[in-house]
Every structure is written in structure tokens, then in C-alpha cells.
């Protein structure tokens, strides 16, 4: 979905999505939205040993993410997921957008080619949301598919922590990229914020006093 510039030097503004633009984690919400409460609860119960291992620091969050995606999406039809994802993007996500974040995005759209959403959330629903927002550049966690069915594996990297920088660099390779400004809210944005010339940490959560 992203549009790589042919220039040898690129200057971009990068927004994290969950928690930065939104008030809640959309990946967790979508799992329940897509699976339905009963099936979601059963799958979460099956994943409890993985969550326990993570809590005991025996595995990292990338491994957890991979296990969750495998459990929820292996064998699922791409068309079915995309239909649900589009509906989720149209009906649920708009109610989660922070007003100040929306205002910042609208301002950044003055130069749409430089505006990037970089998120650990999955591509299907973020693709629709970005299209609705007229944001052309999305770097998110992709789901591998074969013959119209999801394999349950991540395609490429989990776009979290170091994975964000790795994905941005891959997008512009072999050219250079300059992250002029970045917006984030969690440990998963640490490397992105450190790489940016201007870092904005949880910038849209302040409540204006009358």
C-alpha cells in the first residue's frame, strides 16, 4: 500500500497507531470482533500457557504475537477476514480515534507522500482505515496467505520495537530515509522515537483546561 519515493533521500513523518492515534488496542479488539465472543474465549484459553510463559519472561512478545496469529488466523479465508476487517475499520475504529491525533494527521496530510502509519497491528483493517483517511503509506504486520487462505504465519516482521525501524529501512532501501518526526506511546515505539529528529511521546492525551 505504501508508495516509495524514487528520490535518494526521503523525509517522513511516522505515526504509531494503537494507543497513539487510538484510545485502545485495536488488534485485541479485532480478534474478538472477528472470532465472536465464544470462539475468542476458547482460543484465549488455549493460548493461556503462552501468556504464562511470557509473564515468566520465558518467551518474548514477538513469539506471543506469532502464536496468537497462528491460533486465530490459520486456515481462515482471506476474503472472510478482509470483509470483517473492512467492517471493523468502518464501524469500530472511528469511535476510538483521539481528536487531537486526528487533527495532527489532518495537518500532516498536507504532504501525504511523507505521512506514514507504522503499526504492529495487522494490515487488513488498517488498510481500510488508511484508505478512508486518504493516507497512502501503511507499514503494518502482514499475514501470510496461500491460495486465498491465511497460513497462520506473519509475512516479514512483527512491526514492533526494532521491527519498526527494520521495516522502514526496508521500505526505502537502497535509499536513505530521514524520520523527521515520530509519534508513539509505548515500549514498542522506543526505537522509532530514538531514530526521529523530533520525538512525540503520548502527545494526544493532554486534556485542555478551560
Cell numbers at residue 93, please?
A: 475504529
| pLDDT tens, N- to C-terminus, the chain (210 residues) | 444 544 445 899 999 999 999 999 999 999 999 999 999 999 999 999 999 999 999 999 999 999 999 999 999 999 999 999 999 999 999 999 999 999 999 999 999 999 999 999 999 999 999 999 999 999 999 999 999 999 999 999 999 999 999 999 999 999 999 999 999 999 999 999 999 999 999 999 865 433
Q: What is the DSSP letter of 22?
A: B
Q: What pLDDT is attached to residue 10?
A: 87
Whole-model pTM: value is 0.92
The third-level CATH classification (topology) of the domain covering 9-201 is: Rossmann fold (3.40.50)
Q: What pLDDT is attached to residue 207?
A: 53
Distance CA 98, CA 154 (A): 29
Q: What pLDDT is attached to residue 205?
A: 86
Distance CA 91, CA 82 (A): 14
Structural contact between residues 173 and 6, judged by C-beta atoms closer than 8 angstroms: no
Cell numbers at residue 189, please?
A: 515505539
Q: What pLDDT is attached to residue 115?
A: 97
Cβ neighbours, 10 Å, residue 54: 16
Show the 3-state SS of 143-163: EEEECCEEEEEEECCCCCCHH
Distance CA 1, CA 11 (A): 18
Distance CA 123, CA 138 (A): 8
Q: Structural domain boundaries of the chain?
A: 9-201
Residues 6+ apart with CB under 8 A from 120: 18, 27, 65, 140, 141, 158, 159, 160, 163, 164, 188
Amino acid at each position: 500500500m505504501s508508495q516509495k519515493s524514487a528520490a535518494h533521500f526521503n523525509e517522513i513523518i511516522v505515526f504509531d497507531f494503537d494507543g497513539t492515534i487510538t484510545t485502545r488496542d485495536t488488534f485485541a479488539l479485532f480478534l474478538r470482533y472477528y472470532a465472536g465472543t465464544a470462539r475468542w474465549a476458547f482460543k484465549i484459553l488455549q493460548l493461556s500457557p503462552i501468556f504464562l510463559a511470557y509473564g515468566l519472561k520465558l518467551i518474548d512478545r514477538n513469539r506471543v504475537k506469532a502464536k496468537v496469529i497462528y491460533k486465530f488466523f490459520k486456515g481462515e479465508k482471506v476474503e472472510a477476514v478482509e470483509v470483517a476487517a473492512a467492517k471493523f475499520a468502518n464501524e469500530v475504529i472511528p469511535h476510538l480515534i483521539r481528536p487531537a491525533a486526528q487533527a495532527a494527521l489532518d495537518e500532516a496530510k498536507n504532504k501525504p507522500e511523507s505521512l506514514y502509519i507504522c503499526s504492529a497491528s495487522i494490515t487488513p483493517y488498517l488498510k481500510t482505515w488508511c484508505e478512508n483517511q486518504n493516507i497512502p503509506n501503511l507499514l503494518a504486520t502482514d499475514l501470510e496467505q496461500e491460495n486465498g487462505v491465511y497460513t497462520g504465519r506473519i509475512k516479514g516482521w512483527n512491526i514492533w520495537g526494532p521491527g519498526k525501524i527494520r521495516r522502514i529501512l526496508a521500505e526505502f532501501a537502497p535509499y536513505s530515509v530521514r524520520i523527521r518526526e515520530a509519534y508513539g506511546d509505548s515500549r514498542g515505539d522506543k526505537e522509532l522515537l530514538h531514530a526521529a529528529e523530533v520525538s512525540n511521546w503520548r502527545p494526544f492525551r493532554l486534556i485542555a483546561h478551560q
